[in-house]
Amino acid sequence: MVMRSAFGVIGLGRMAWAIVEPLLKRGVIPPEQLVTVVGSELSASRLNNELPDGITVYPASSAEARSVWQAPVQLLAIKPQQLDAVAAEVPAVNGQPLLISVLAGVRLERLQRLFPSHRCVRSVPNTPALVGSGLTALAWGDSVLPDQRQQVTELFSPVSEVMELPEEKLDAFLALTSSGPAFLALVAEAMADGAVAAGLPRPLAQHLSHRTLAGTAALLHQRNLHPGELKDMVSSPGGTTIAGIRCLEQAGLRSALIEAVVAAAERSRELA
């Protein structure tokens, strides 16, 4: 798939760039077909200096910025609190452009109300997409056509595993996959702190903690193991691992992680 017509990006933060960059590198989007708008002239100037040749970023206040809304495919990646103000500035559009939102907690019903001339898609990517190891869930507006669904799937596939979910499942998906990396980062940091307390230098402790999490995730995924199987594999009777697990159970780690995911899902529903 190569896009022969413009691809619009409204808001070019890290997540939007994680999606767009591999598409540029693979030639799916030629640089001259990318129409990008950001909020301020300062941000536009900085990005124009940093991004590869051929890409132009317009500040929202410029006359050229309005052209982003005429692109047949648009990626909406602004902050959720900016949504109403941005939608109020949308000019009349031709046809029914495809609007792909990555805004957390913003429902399809609201998107369709604010952008009545668009076909809307709600996407929930997560931060590991920055290194091509993400997860993305997609929920479709009623008017999205089958070929557009395929197009959207192909846009996210280079950086993530893509799955379609009913919109009511997206809050739980977000809580696990979008908030989950922060929870695991706390675990990685705490494990490194423990290794420092046990005598390892900080840089080595951090490296080993990161590699342990990455290797464990790869083993669980590639061998399709239940987490309990892996726990039992390394827990010898009276050994070091079971002694550590006993401490974790006494501290309530399992319950804390369960409640963290549930709280994140509930907060996502509240924000909507």
Q: For residue 178, give the amino acid letter.
A: S
Question: Which of 178, 185, 115, 105 has its CA nearest to residue 144?
Answer: 115
Clarify whether residues 205 and 70 are in a common domain.
no
Domain boundary among 167, 198, 218: 167
pTM of the model: 0.90
What mean pLDDT do residues 23-40 have?
87
In the predicted structure, residue 5 carries a pLDDT above the cut 70: no
What digits encode the pLDDT tens for the residues 97-113?
999 999 988 999 999 99
pLDDT in tens, 64-120: 888 899 999 999 999 888 999 999 989 888 889 999 999 988 999 999 999 999 999
Tens-place pLDDT, residues 158-167: 889 999 999 9
**CATH code (residue 91):** 3.40.50.720
Computed over every residue of the chain, the mean pLDDT equals 92
- Among 138, 173, 136, 143, smallest CA distance to 157 is for 136
> Is 16 in the same domain as 138?
yes
Q: Domain range for residue 71? A: 7-167
183 plus 161 within the same structural domain: no
In this structure, the answer to whether residues 106 and 191 fall within a common structural domain is: no
Quick one: 238 and 263 in the same domain? yes
Domain identity same for 33 and 155: yes
Tell whether 172 is covered by a domain: no
* 3-class secondary structure per residue, 217-258: HHHHHHCCCCHHHHHHHCCCCCCHHHHHHHHHHHHCHHHHHH
**Using one digit for the tens of pLDDT, what is the confidence trace for 220-264?**
999 999 999 999 999 999 999 999 999 999 999 999 999 999 999
- pLDDT-based confidence at 2, cuts 50/70/90? low
The answer to whether residues 228 and 98 belong to one domain is no
Structural domain includes residue 230: yes
Give me the number of domains the chain comprises. Answer: 2
Same domain, 115 and 35: yes
Query: Are residues 153 and 263 part of one domain?
Result: no
